Structure 1
Amino acid sequence: MISLVVAYCILGAVTFEKLEAAHEKEVKMNISQLRRNTTDSIWTMTKDSALFSEANWTKDVVVMLKDFENAILLEMKVRGWDGSESTDHIQWTFTGALFYSIIVITTIGQYS
């Protein structure tokens, strides 16, 4: 019985790592791209304006930044972004996935 539980935890850890690590990296890359697009848009708007008006520029930038903020909030709420853009440090390592797998077993065992 113990061998089955250990095998289940290891298989669960491998599965969670494979499924969730790729998703986490994708979310982080999307955030980086979103940030780059926003800064590029602000720079292009600033560079291409024939006559610089601080009031108009500020109004346009506020709109762009509000859109950026809403997109960030959506990524956090819906896709689970953790606030980091580094794809080198992800939460879904084998160790983290093993821990999650053990937590699932102990939680289910506690309430059944």
Structure 2
Amino acid sequence: MIIGFVIVLALAWFGVTAERGAGGIIAGTLSGVVGVATAYIAGTFIRTQENSSAHLRSYFLQPLEFSRFLAAERIAMKVQGPIRDETLSAVAVAVAGYGTVSSQPESTSSN
């Protein structure tokens, strides 16, 4: 990475200090092309790193998700009586990650 930066700086310096116009134009053009190529490679590396980090994060979060399912199963085994179906559906929604479950609807008043 440092070598590439040094090459860009050297080409830019040569383009500025060139005695002949054609040499300066060629060096300046090469410096620009190298800069664009460097930006493309750096962007690709950053996108790859972001994707890798997202996958790694999902691997670490998987045990937590599994523990949530196990807790939901334990709750489902303990619930008895007439509220069983409502409680099980509320637990399923909460475990699936669709938000928090409340027995009372949220008020939509505007203050």
TM category (shorter chain) comes to 0.3 to 0.5
Larger Rg: 2
Task: Provide TM-score, normalisation by structure 2.
Answer: 0.44
